[in-house]
Amino acid sequence: MHVAQFNISRERNPLDHPDMADFVRRLDVVNAAADGWAGFVWRLHDESGNATAIRAFEDKTIIFNLSVWRSVPELKEFVYRSSHYDVLKRRLEWFHRIVEPSYVLWLVDDDHRPSVDEAKQRLAHLREHGPSDHAFTFDSVPGGSVP
Grade residue 50 by pLDDT with cuts at 50, 70 and 90: confident
Domain extent listing, the chain? 2-144
CA 86 to chain centre: 15
Q: Report whether 9 contacts 62 (CB < 8 A).
A: yes
- pTM score of the predicted model: 0.93
Q: How far apart are CA 106 and CA 98, in angstroms?
A: 20
- The radius of gyration of the chain's CA atoms, rounded to the nearest angstrom, is 15
pLDDT digits (tens, 9 = 90+) for 97-108: 999 999 999 999
Q: pLDDT tens-digit profile of 85-140?
A: 999 999 999 999 999 999 999 999 999 999 999 999 999 999 999 999 999 999 88
Contact status, residue 3 vs residue 67, Cβ threshold 8 Å: no
User: At 126, phi and psi to the nearest 5?
Assistant: -60, -45
* Tens digit of each residue's pLDDT (9 = 90 or more) over 6-34: 999 999 999 999 999 999 999 999 999 99
* CATH number attached to the domain at 2-144: 3.30.70.100
